[in-house]
Amino acid sequence: MFFIRLFNYFKGYVAIIIEGVFPERFLNICARRGISLWNVKRLGKLSLRANVSVRGFRLLRPIAKKSRCGVKVSRRVGLRFYVHKHRKRKAFVFGAALFAVLLLVMTRFIWVIEVTGVHDLTRQQILEALEESGLKVGQLSAKINISDIQNTVITRQEKIAWLGITVKGTTAHVDVKERTSKPEIFPKDQPCSIYAGQSGVVESIEAQNGQRLVSAGDVVKQGQLLISGVLDSKTGLGVRYVHADGEVIARTWHEVSVPIASEEEVRRRTGRSKSKHMLKAFSLRIPLFFSDRVGFAGYDRVSEAKWLHIGKDTPLPFSFHYDKYYELEITRQPMERETAVAEAEAEARRQVAGIQIVSEQKEVTEDTVKITFECIENITQKQTVLREENHIGGEEP
């Protein structure tokens, strides 16, 4: 029913009053000529009220004459009558037209760029890279060539592995996949030897290529040659250079000492706060405050922004920014020893993160925490073999 009414409102209709001795005749002729009437109601002995479409109304005059009825318009309903009534109000019409045009124009641009998936890079870096490649706030969305932008950004910014751009309304969603930095790999075709990256006691050694120089149980120093890439030639003449490869697992000791803090910084909100509001239209900032000064020595800022939206995906370049400043009282307070020690210990542990710890020995003095970690780790470190120039390939059998 609601939709029928809405449809009728857009089409427009006329409520008429039919007066005559025999209005049934009027209804019959209307029906026969295909003019549909609805909501016909008896008003009195000689009169009826009915609704008729605008198109049907134009055909009523001869029917009224034929059925000897009088037809009066009692009400006009519909959009077209509303527009007709207000057509002389220039400012109103202008405003309505301007609204329609602005709405149409404004929704053709990108107003918000949303970036997801950044960890190591910053949002700002991504935005800059995008702007260089042709996607920025205020851009016509029709002019965005997504695959072009993706390609340029990926080639220019090495840390980005993949970039997904979806434009929805006035929002561009940018999904970034960062490249995980590869561990430095020694080129496979270059000869090298394996040295100890860490002093310790060798637990096991496995040489896939090269000559093993130490065995399990040996104590090695940092920088000591473990697997040599220089082999005696099979013919017994000269040497052969290979790419040494293997794994040397050793028991190592890491001594980490962390100073114990005696004081800590305590930040507490004093309860005083200030709010600053700002309107932003395009890049124009309209502050709704007089002085830029916050007036607090230390403060926390909580910012919020609300955008003017049309639907969910179509924000417009008008936003309301709401900044709240909470005054902070920053004091240095003596720290409780227990927590300070625990914090220092956690810091020490953080320094050996990723290494397998077998056992540990803690030593707490007045101002430092010293922990000796006994670990099991791979201590191999590849380095180019030092060699004389002539020995490349020449003497190989």
Partner 1 sequence: MKKSRKERMAELFDMPKEVVLDLPKLTVYGDSQLTVENYSGILQYTDEYIRLKTSGKAIAVSGKGLELRAITDVDVLIEGEILGIEYI
Q: What is the pairing mode between strands 225-228 and 192-196?
A: antiparallel
CA-closest candidate to residue 196, choices 386, 387, 382, 358: 382
Note whether 48 binds partner 1 by CB under 8 A.
yes
CB closer to partner 1 out of 45 and 90: 45
Residue 73 C-beta: closest distance to partner 1, Å: 19
- Candidates 35-43, 192-200, 218-226, 264-272: pick the segment binding partner 1 (CB under 8 A): 35-43
Residue 33 C-beta: closest distance to partner 1, Å: 8
Note whether 34 binds partner 1 by CB under 8 A.
yes
**159, 177 Cβ separation under 8 angstroms:** no
Count of chain residues binding partner 1 (CB under 8 A): 18
The binder of partner 1 chosen from 21, 39, 337, 367 (CB under 8 A): 39
Note whether 271 binds partner 1 by CB under 8 A.
no
CB closer to partner 1 out of 45 and 188: 45
Output phi, psi for 67, to 5 deg: -90, 5
**303, 323 Cβ separation under 8 angstroms:** yes
Token reading at 333: 């307070």
Longest dimension (CA), the chain: 134
CB closer to partner 1 out of 26 and 325: 26
**Interior angle at CA 204, CA 375 and CA 233, nearest 5:** 135
Note whether 37 binds partner 1 by CB under 8 A.
yes
The binder of partner 1 chosen from 3, 41, 388, 394 (CB under 8 A): 41
Residues 226-255 as x/- pattern, contact with partner 1 by CB under 8 A: ------------------------------
Could you give the CA distance from residue 389 to residue 230 in angstroms, rounded to a whole number?
A: 14
CA-closest candidate to residue 385, choices 245, 249, 244: 244
Q: Rule CB under 8 A: which of 12-31 touch partner 1?
A: 23-24, 27-28, 30-31
Could you give the CA distance from residue 63 to residue 37 in angstroms, rounded to a whole number?
A: 13
Could you give the CA distance from residue 165 to residue 101 in angstroms, rounded to a whole number?
A: 28
Which residues contribute to the site for partner 1 (CB under 8 A)?
23-24, 27-28, 30-34, 36-42, 48, 50
